[in-house]
Amino acid sequence: MKLDRREVMGAAVGAMLLGASGVPAGAKAAQKVSFRHGIASGDPLHDRVILWTRVTPEGDPPQSLQVEWEIAKDADFRRVIRRGTTLTSGAADFTVKVDAAGLKPDTEYAYRFRCGDVVSPVGRTKTLPVGNVDNVVMAVASCSLFSTGFFNAYRDIASLDRLDLVMHLGDYTYEYGGAPDQLGMSIGQQIGRAPTPAHEAVTLADYRERYACYRSDEDLQAAHARAPWIVVWDDHDTTNDDWVGGAQNHQPSEGSWEDRKAASVQAFFEWIPIRPPEAGKPRVDISRTFELGNLATIIMMENRLVGRDRQVDLRNPTDVTWNVLDMTGPDQPALVTDPAIRKDVLTAALTGKPVPAPYEVRVDPESLRKAISRPDRSVYGHSLEEWLSGQLRTSVAAGKKWQIIGNQVVMARTTGADIVDFLGPEGWQKAYAQVTPQLRPWLKQLETLPDDLPFEFDGWDAYPAARSRMDAMLASSGGRPVVLSGDSHAFWVNSLTDAQGRQVAAEVGTTSITSSSLGNMLGGLELGPLFSGSCPEVRFCQHLTRGYSLVTLTPDDMRVDLIGMSTVLQRDYQRFVLKSFRLPTDAEGHIGQWEDLTPTA
């Protein structure tokens, strides 16, 4: 059964206008409430789906609220097939989550909630298929910093005629607030878009308010109402560059790391339509699988809080060595050993201030190579690496055509891209002047860092041993693995190869909904050609377009349309297809090479 989009929209408007339609006499609640954060569904299976909403009480909040839910075969709710009642309270921030079971496979449904005589908007959801599957269409999204743009890409997702599910790969929210000094607010102040609270999110109350701010956005609400979502978090859903034991953006003055992590995880489970982990798994392990009949297994990976090793930190003297050089003779720089001079020069460099002449600061490359090359370092954690290997084998043994890995940071090797050489001396100095002082120490080291080393240390390039283990795992699976990645705020189409140059998987990196890329931060520079021209695994890259990826999966191939928004700085936008690619299979059923389907001018 297929629900028409206009039918659902009409039913939603009708529900809001009629209010008490279908509510038994005497069911009015004494407490005035609203559904101002919309509705959502997620984690679909072949016979069930999570339904979500939040009830906002007006005035003093009650101890609890009774909420009814119903799911129907039609948007007018003449054929209701499941209904029930549940309670919510301040302990769950008045959010509601129901695991609606007893549904039919590969079927669209309408759903809604009621609290007293107030009826929620109507949402569309869909169960996963079983058996033979001809095709599945999914939108892939990530990275939506509230202050840097309007959620036009979410509105576009909501308008799609065919959509089976939405995969969100993290950074659904950001920790940064709406005060002028917060990241992104240089844009937010220009377009009148500031998240609440104004300060950085640290406590449970902060994270709850941040989710409430995001979910008040009508475009995000529309995208959630369109189809079920499968969501994982990334770092900014807690704070920048987090790992098991801390984060780059968590300071001792912000309290306990464990308390902050627990607060962000609690708010995530309250506000996102996701099931809790299986019994026996830690609460932070949101890795899970979804079966698309005989077509594919979706394997969603957690890459932050289960087993991620700490990122190499250029400011940490136990990780790398910074050399101070006397450049009086530029052709023969002399290593400075005087402790007082080293302290003054390094302090200036690491705080983004000008380094006094005639000195220069450079990272010792050998110390950096040693730090990132430790064989035990992992992105997922060793337990999740083993879990992923088992899921791949299980999927292939079950005869699934594809193994889709929901990943966060881009997996392709991107070393070899010399940004400084690409821009030239004048272009580099102009770009360097564009970035904030906080980013300049990191950017400055690109001038002298050998191009066999990564230019950032949160991605797979900075965990080479973990990437080698992934190569071996993907190659031995015998399947058709495709990695879907977010995080980078750029589009990528990659072919992943092992050390011998054999293709082991394909990768699609989706751009951000709003968040700025490295190219944006350097003054609007398109760095894509640099990466595709310098990195053998990169077939296509583009840094300056915001949007999402539309993936169509069939038994024989996968099509990827990179969907761009003409702007996110105002609500009026034009949708365009930046590029389209097809991933075929060869005569033996293995992954082939990417084919560019984009019409030539």
Q: Which of 225, 227, 207, 206 is nearest to 217 (CA)?
A: 225
Contact (CB, 8 A) for 87 and 67: yes
φ, ψ for residue 178 (rounded to 5)? -105, 10
The domain tally of the chain equals 1
Task: Assign 239 a pLDDT band (cuts: 50, 70, 90).
Answer: very high
pLDDT at 2: 63
For the cut 90, the answer to whether the pLDDT of residue 25 exceeds it is no
Instruction: Please report whether residue 331 resides in a domain.
Output: yes
Left, alpha or beta for 252 (phi > 0: left; psi -120 to 50: alpha)? alpha
pLDDT at 12: 47
Pairwise CA distance, residues 394 & 138, whole Å: 23
- Start-to-end CA span in the chain (Å): 40
Tell me how far CA of residue 7 lies from CA of 17, 217, 220, in angstroms: 15, 22, 20
For the cut 80, the answer to whether the pLDDT of residue 24 exceeds it is no
Pairwise CA distance, residues 45 & 23, whole Å: 30
Contact (CB, 8 A) for 261 and 330: no
Strand extents, DSSP E, 77-225: 80-88, 95-100, 108-115, 118-119, 123-126, 136-141, 165-168
Q: What is the mean pLDDT of residues 92-112?
A: 98
Instruction: Please report whether residue 333 resides in a domain.
Output: yes
Provide CB contacts within 8 A for 520, sequence distance 6+: 489, 543, 544
Instruction: Please report whether residue 67 resides in a domain.
Output: no
Contact (CB, 8 A) for 168 and 141: yes
Q: What is the mean pLDDT of residues 84-90?
A: 98
φ, ψ for residue 393 (rounded to 5)? -65, -40
Chain Cα centroid distance, residue 510? 9
Dihedral of alpha carbons 192, 196, 198, 202, sign: negative
Dihedral of alpha carbons 525, 528, 533, 537, sign: positive
Pairwise CA distance, residues 468 & 453, whole Å: 16
pLDDT at 145: 98
Pairwise CA distance, residues 431 & 67, whole Å: 54
Name the amino acid, one letter, at 368. L
pLDDT at 361: 87
Task: Assign 4 a pLDDT band (cuts: 50, 70, 90).
Answer: low
Instruction: Please report whether residue 330 resides in a domain.
Output: yes
Q: What percent of the chain has pLDDT over 70?
A: 94
Pairwise CA distance, residues 548 & 578, whole Å: 10
Stronger pLDDT, 351 or 76, i.e. the higher one: 76
Task: Assign 286 a pLDDT band (cuts: 50, 70, 90).
Answer: very high
**Class of residue 411 by CB neighbours under 10 A (exposed 0-12, middle 13-18, buried 19+):** buried
Pairing of strands 503-509, 491-497: antiparallel
Task: Assign 222 a pLDDT band (cuts: 50, 70, 90).
Answer: very high
Contact (CB, 8 A) for 72 and 117: no
Instruction: Please report whether residue 354 resides in a domain.
Output: yes
Sequence length of the chain is 601
Name the amino acid, one letter, at 484. L
Left, alpha or beta for 416 (phi > 0: left; psi -120 to 50: alpha)? left
Instruction: Please report whether residue 332 resides in a domain.
Output: yes
Alpha-carbon Rg for the chain, nearest whole angstrom, is 25
Stronger pLDDT, 421 or 135, i.e. the higher one: 135
Instruction: Please report whether residue 114 resides in a domain.
Output: no
How many other CB atoms are found less than 10 A from the CB of residue 364?
12
Chain Cα centroid distance, residue 543? 16
Helix (H, G, I), strand (E, B) or coil at 221: helix
Q: What is the mean pLDDT of residues 248-252?
A: 95
| Averaged pLDDT score across all residues of the chain | 93
In this structure, what token pair is assigned to residue 46? 């072949």
What is the extent of the structural domain holding 327?
322-363
SS (H, E, C) 429-463: HHHHHHCCHHHHHHHHHHHCCCCCCCCCCCCHHHC
Q: What percent of the chain has pLDDT over 90?
A: 80
pLDDT digits (tens, 9 = 90+) for 322-377: 899 999 988 889 999 999 999 999 888 877 788 899 998 888 999 999 999 999 99
pLDDT at 601: 65
SS (H, E, C) 8-36: HHHHHHHHHHHCCCCCCCCCCCCCCEECC
Instruction: Please report whether residue 341 resides in a domain.
Output: yes
pLDDT digits (tens, 9 = 90+) for 477-500: 999 999 999 999 999 999 999 999
Helix (H, G, I), strand (E, B) or coil at 6: helix
Q: Which of 49, 4, 129, 125 is nearest to 554 (CA)?
A: 129
Contact (CB, 8 A) for 201 and 160: no
Dihedral of alpha carbons 112, 115, 116, 118, sign: negative
pLDDT at 514: 98
pLDDT digits (tens, 9 = 90+) for 423-477: 898 888 888 888 877 677 677 777 778 888 988 899 999 999 999 999 999 999 9
Q: What is the mean pLDDT of residues 258-271?
A: 98
Provide CB contacts within 8 A for 587, sequence distance 6+: none
φ, ψ for residue 394 (rounded to 5)? -65, -45
pLDDT at 469: 98
pLDDT digits (tens, 9 = 90+) for 178-208: 999 999 999 999 999 999 999 999 999 999 9
Q: What is the mean pLDDT of residues 160-189?
A: 96
